[in-house]
Structure 1
């Protein structure tokens, strides 16, 4: 969000709200809660996740510094649609519903960019739904992994890591699968040489081009 704004709008937005700090694995926002503030992330990474009636949790998205989270409830005052959890230390601006609404009225360009961000998020979600119809479980995980590594990955000895502390089950849940299917998908990825090894909190990809070919992205 911040990177899309005009300089003067960005600088003014950074003056809005109260600076807050959170340690890893803290909930910034809780699903179904009735609070209405938003967070502008200044540093760190969070994951957006939902829990169904059976108690199963799925990660929907990753948000990083410059992103706005919780804006839906801040604007429509409806119950929270998801939980937001820190993936490490996070610094953010807590912005009340009144502060966000007033800012959007003052700065129309912020409103336009917010619509653009929501559009991008919907397109990403629709892409995952199309993947479900036309790709195997392993390919779906590979497609999500390729996008995340492309956006946040770090090159290290032996390949690329995700750069975000997600378990393989959390990563696979972004592709719409349950834990048991996730195990099979990662087994197929290892056999194909797409993932050399995986750790409890990270994944190692030796060759990005091989990953993209396996995911049928080329």
Structure 2
């Protein structure tokens, strides 16, 4: 179903404010979703990966820009074809609804964290979330993320992220590479994030 297409890193799949009658089904690679605030600030909203759909089910203008974080393979599916497929496959509709609910819960949790926790705790919580959602068995966060991306996700400034990551690296909690983070000590990161076990 759909037409295959490959995207290079930083190539745009869909642009905020534009009208697309199609969806992108991600087959491989990672896509960043961003949006621009009224004051011009670009906010990193979410990561989409294999199996995720990018598009607006209600047919309205795109609410975010989708940019390939690395080489991405995808299939372009026309909205009418997707809607017909969902009508014929209730299980797929349920899975899509569950994914949308998960994204809403994640957004609500981050909004609460912004008002409830200091910057360092928010950064730790974002790293835990990323590792548990996108991490490998070795706790390497697979999607390529810059420090600016982490700052936007945590709602903090770039210098704050740089300082926090430097401290986490010096204490052996994380290891940093080019656009990559690996968690070396998840229990310690959980403690910093305020996730205490009984």
TM-score relative to the length of structure 1 = 0.81
Q: Which residue of 2 aligns with 1:108?
A: 90
2:108 is the counterpart of 1:126: yes
Separation in structure 1 between the aligned mates of residue 117 and residue 174 of structure 2, nearest angstrom: 18
Q: Which residue of 1 aligns with 2:77?
A: 95
Separation in structure 2 between the aligned mates of residue 66 and residue 111 of structure 1, nearest angstrom: 13
SS at match of 2:154: coil
SS at match of 2:25: strand
Q: Deviations over 1:72-103 (max 9, x none)?
A: 2xx32211000111111111110111111111
Q: Which residue of 2 aligns with 1:171?
A: 150
Q: Which of these residues, 54, 59, 67, is aligned with residue 39 of structure 2? A: 54
Question: Residue 22 of structure 1 contacts residue 90 of structure 1 at CA under 8 Å; is this kept in 2?
Answer: yes
Separation in structure 1 between the aligned mates of residue 174 and residue 8 of structure 2, nearest angstrom: 30
Specify every segment of 5 or more residues in structure 1 that has no aligned partner in the other structure, as ranges: 1-15
Q: Deviations over 1:138-172 (max 9, x none)?
A: 1111111111112222466xxx4322211112012
Q: Which residue of 2 aligns with 1:29?
A: 14
Q: Which residue of 1 aligns with 2:134?
A: 152
* Aligned residues between the structures: 196
Distance 1:192 1:140, change over 3 A: farther
Distance 1:57 1:178, change over 3 A: farther
TM-score relative to the length of structure 2 = 0.88
Separation in structure 2 between the aligned mates of residue 96 and residue 25 of structure 1, nearest angstrom: 23
SS at match of 1:91: strand
SS at match of 1:174: helix
Question: Residue 30 of structure 1 contacts residue 80 of structure 1 at CA under 8 Å; is this kept in 2?
Answer: yes
Specify every segment of 5 or more residues in structure 2 that has no aligned partner in the other structure, as ranges: none
Deviation at 1:200, TM superposition (A): 4.5
Question: Residue 138 of structure 1 contacts residue 189 of structure 1 at CA under 8 Å; is this kept in 2?
Answer: no
